A and B are shown apart, each in its own frame.
Chain A
Amino acid sequence: MNKFPGNKFPRKTFIVARHEFLKTIKRKEFLFMTFLLPFLFAGITLLPVIFSGMSPIKDQKVGYIDMTDAFEFPEPIRSEGLSPGSSEAKTSAIEFVMYSDIFDARQALQAGQISSYLVIPEDFLESGTIELYSLEKEAPVSNFELSAELSGIVITSLLKDKVDEPTLNRVLDPVNIKFYNIEKSGESSGRGIADIFASFGLPILIAFLLLFSIFSSSGFLLRGVAEEKENRIIEILLSSVAPSEILTGKILGLGAVGLLQIGIWLAAVVVGSGYALPIKIEPNTLFFALVYFVLGFLFFASMMAGIGAITSSLQESQQIAGILSFAAALPLIFLQPIITNPDSSSSVFLSLFPLTSPVAMLTRMAVSSVPVYQILASVFILFVSVHGVILLSSRLFKAYLLMYGKRPKVKEILKNVWARSD
């Protein structure tokens, strides 16, 4: 006699999953992580650009005394900015003011009419040195910008009447590299800088988001288990639902949270870049990103669940989880070596080792063509590890969810893990 027909095994798993999902997305921490993190991230990357763009907005006047009398300073010159060939409107402008002697220039500087002045000495052609004078308290104009400005002026002045205009332009802006890939069919396709970002930056970005999301959602899982253990509701749950159902439900629910979070972040990246990003990820990359997310999440989530089950307080569980998170963050520390040397033995190791493989392998795949057998091996190792960790965690879940107060000794835990309990 079943009072509630249609009550099948997966239904409770689904109820747990839905509950966990709804509970988590209402958490302040989740909202913070999901909606403020992209802004923080964007802020960190955009702030320098904004600041460097902002300071020169007020026109700077720079005086100059040309002792060689060989240079033509345009008057006033609008700076051409950093990237040659770009048609964007420039925000910076340096106005050059000519002075015939140093004394006048110095007076103008002290009177605040100019922010600094240059002296081009008579032996400039031999030495290449230009002197820049400014008041102590005042920051001089951006060195980089001024240098670029002056180079243009010097080159133009020196070569103007000696070479034709195309040559002059080439000297001013020598090379723009355009990338081509020869495909197997023999056709070639052009790749601009955006394409390179798509094949290189985007997978790394995805790897980053993956890691963040795995951290945050498996962190929520840990918190959830530790809280339920701490406030004893776990006993009511266990009297209604099997431990494996609770574990599966939690992992599914929080996995959905993680996917939602990544979705929001990717959307933020797309919208934030003004749809300029060519989201032309290769299907391969997308496929493996998804595979690594799912496996990586399962790996960490079940590990966190096991930790949550063993420990008796939230604080304690977070300490242990911190150590594991550090291991997971290792690829970020080794990002530089992995990118510059994607096929070194340490890179290969990190991309095979289950704790680090999701991020390390995606990074490697972004910068070089990883042999297929290595990708398959990495996925296989991760898959087997996930299986092992889930098995282990569900045993810990069964054995320790109802133990409060004292943390079991490592020996006891191992005994419980290896002993076939049912």
Chain B
Amino acid sequence: MHILEFKSVSKSFSDKNILEDISFSVRQGEIFGLLGPNGAGKTTLIRLLLDILRPDSGEIRIYGDLLSPAAKDRIGYLPEERGLYRKTKLLDMLVYLAQLKGMPKKQAHLNAETLLNSLDLYQYKNKKVEELSKGMQQQVQFLSAIIHEPELIILDEPFYGLDPVITKAIKARILELRAAGKTIILSTHIMEQAQTLCDRILMLNKGRRVLYGLVDDIRKEYGKNSLIVEFAENADLNTIREISGIKKVVESGKFVEIFPEEGVNIQTLLEELVQRANLLRFEQALPSLNEIFIETLESAASE
């Protein structure tokens, strides 16, 4: 089931195209990565789907319906630009934000206490936000995005500025939410995170869709069909280059990358290698999202 659908959505600000003809859909229960360099249009796309901005053309559907105030209530949002009421008591603020999402006060109160308890922040519930440490504030900010039990959660650069401990905690939370059947849209420009967390991605560059699909499919598609090999001790690379069917051997620190010729049997190649050196690692190399990302940007720039 598609939870979110963009159909040929375009948006421009004073004659500058921010998004051009963007189409994609998000499935229920997946972590969907929204990738792209700064200025690619990620934040604008998020604001469109939150109905903060309206598209110039195209259609946005949530749960199959056009955007409506009721649909907005079922979305949770962690903006890139963090903000909390600094002088408001923690509990009051969470309850207020949940109420604005249409949750009854009692339920909001209950949820706020449960969530604060789960993060060991319960004893601070009557403290003002500005009295909390920065790490606590970041966690509270995350809570404010999920307190009203949204089915679709949008996280814009959720790990930005977090220390490793909190990053780990929030990552765990995100996976928990997915396990509970929630759908998560994760906007980031850090590709490693997207690669480890996301099921599918949409990559934007200069307002255009450049990549879209399953992370694994994209990596295979961009695969250079190379092999990563690590030897136990320094092997003589020249003897390896002599193996028939090897086009190129590239030394790359502790391991070497071997590019076989088209149609070569990988199994035969492995046997040849084993005869010439002690192998520690032998795997088919898939480019990281980061490499694909950079390659895509570079090819776009040279166009």
Partners in one complex: yes
- Name A's B-contacting residues (CB within 8 A): 1-4, 7, 9, 11-12, 15-16, 19, 23, 228, 231-242, 402, 404, 412, 422
Chain B contacts for A238, CB-based, 8 A: 50, 52
B82 touches A402 (CB 8 A): no
B96 touches A15 (CB 8 A): yes
Question: Which of B54, B88, B100 has a CB less than 8 Å from the CB of A237?
Answer: B100
A239 touches B73 (CB 8 A): no
A234 touches B72 (CB 8 A): no
Which of A2, A15, A231, A233 has the largest number of chain B CB atoms within 10 A?
Answer: A233
Asked if B47 lies at the interface with its beta carbon under 8 angstroms from chain A, I say: yes
Asked if B11 lies at the interface with its beta carbon under 8 angstroms from chain A, I say: no
Given A3-B102, A236-B83, A242-B69, 19 more pairs with CB closer than 8 A: A3-B73, A3-B149, A4-B103, A231-B83, A231-B84, A232-B81, A233-B83, A233-B84, A235-B79, A235-B83, A236-B97, A239-B52, A239-B72, A239-B79, A240-B73, A240-B101, A242-B51, A402-B47, A402-B52
A240 touches B97 (CB 8 A): yes
B52 touches A231 (CB 8 A): no
Alpha-carbon separation in the docked complex, A369 to B136 (Å)? 64
Chain B contacts for A402, CB-based, 8 A: 47, 52
Given known A3-B74, A7-B102, contact A239–B50 (CB-CB < 8 A): yes
Within 87-146 of B, Cβ neighbours of A (below 8 Å) are at: 88, 96-97, 99-104, 144
Alpha-carbon separation in the docked complex, A1 to B68 (Å)? 12
A241 touches B70 (CB 8 A): no
Chain A contacts for B63, CB-based, 8 A: 1
Tell me the minimal C-beta distance from B178 to chain A in angstroms: 20
Alpha-carbon separation in the docked complex, A241 to B97 (Å)? 10
Asked if B75 lies at the interface with its beta carbon under 8 angstroms from chain A, I say: yes
B102 touches A235 (CB 8 A): no
Question: Using a Cβ cutoff of 8 Å, how many contacts connect chains A and B?
Answer: 69
Residues of B in contact (CB 8 Å), total 32
A-B contacts, 5 listed (Cβ < 8 Å): A4-B104, A7-B70, A232-B83, A235-B52, A242-B69
Chain B contacts for A412, CB-based, 8 A: 14
Question: Which residue of chain B has its CB nearest to the CB of A11?
Answer: B102
Tell me the minimal C-beta distance from B72 to chain A in angstroms: 7
Chain B contacts for A228, CB-based, 8 A: 83
Question: Which residue of chain B has its CB nearest to the CB of A22?
Answer: B92
B73 touches A7 (CB 8 A): yes
Which of A3, A11, A232 has the largest number of chain B CB atoms within 10 A?
Answer: A3
When A and B form their complex, which 7 residue pairs have the shortest distance between CB atoms, in order from nearest? A232-B83, A233-B83, A240-B100, A7-B102, A232-B81, A235-B79, A239-B77
Tell me the minimal C-beta distance from A220 to chain B in angstroms: 13
Given known A15-B100, A241-B100, A422-B54, contact A236–B88 (CB-CB < 8 A): no
Tell me the minimal C-beta distance from B188 to chain A in angstroms: 18
Alpha-carbon separation in the docked complex, A240 to B69 (Å)? 8
Asked if B160 lies at the interface with its beta carbon under 8 angstroms from chain A, I say: no
Alpha-carbon separation in the docked complex, A241 to B54 (Å)? 15
B79 touches A232 (CB 8 A): yes
B69 touches A9 (CB 8 A): yes
Question: Which residue of chain B has its CB nearest to the CB of A242?
Answer: B69
B70 touches A236 (CB 8 A): no
Within 19-75 of B, Cβ neighbours of A (below 8 Å) are at: 47, 50-52, 54, 63, 69-70, 72-75
Alpha-carbon separation in the docked complex, A2 to B69 (Å)? 11
Tell me the minimal C-beta distance from A237 to chain B in angstroms: 7
Chain A contacts for B149, CB-based, 8 A: 3
A4 touches B69 (CB 8 A): no
Asked if B281 lies at the interface with its beta carbon under 8 angstroms from chain A, I say: no
A236 touches B79 (CB 8 A): yes
Alpha-carbon separation in the docked complex, A236 to B101 (Å)? 10
Chain A contacts for B69, CB-based, 8 A: 9, 242
Alpha-carbon separation in the docked complex, A242 to B50 (Å)? 10
Chain A contacts for B248, CB-based, 8 A: none
Chain B contacts for A242, CB-based, 8 A: 51, 69
Asked if B247 lies at the interface with its beta carbon under 8 angstroms from chain A, I say: no
A15 touches B144 (CB 8 A): no
Question: Which residue of chain A has its CB nearest to the CB of B144?
Answer: A236
Quick one: CB contact mask for B211-231 with A, threshold 8 Å, 1 for yes? Answer: 000000000000000000000
Which of A15, A228, A404 has the largest number of chain B CB atoms within 10 A?
Answer: A15
Alpha-carbon separation in the docked complex, A3 to B88 (Å)? 27
Question: Which residue of chain A has its CB nearest to the CB of B75?
Answer: A239
Question: Which residue of chain B has its CB nearest to the CB of A230?
Answer: B83
Question: Which residue of chain A has its CB nearest to the CB of B101?
Answer: A240
Tell me the minimal C-beta distance from A31 to chain B in angstroms: 14
Question: Which of A4, A23, A422 has a CB less than 8 Å from the CB of B73?
Answer: A4
Alpha-carbon separation in the docked complex, A2 to B75 (Å)? 13
Asked if B86 lies at the interface with its beta carbon under 8 angstroms from chain A, I say: yes
Given known A240-B97, A402-B52, contact A231–B85 (CB-CB < 8 A): yes
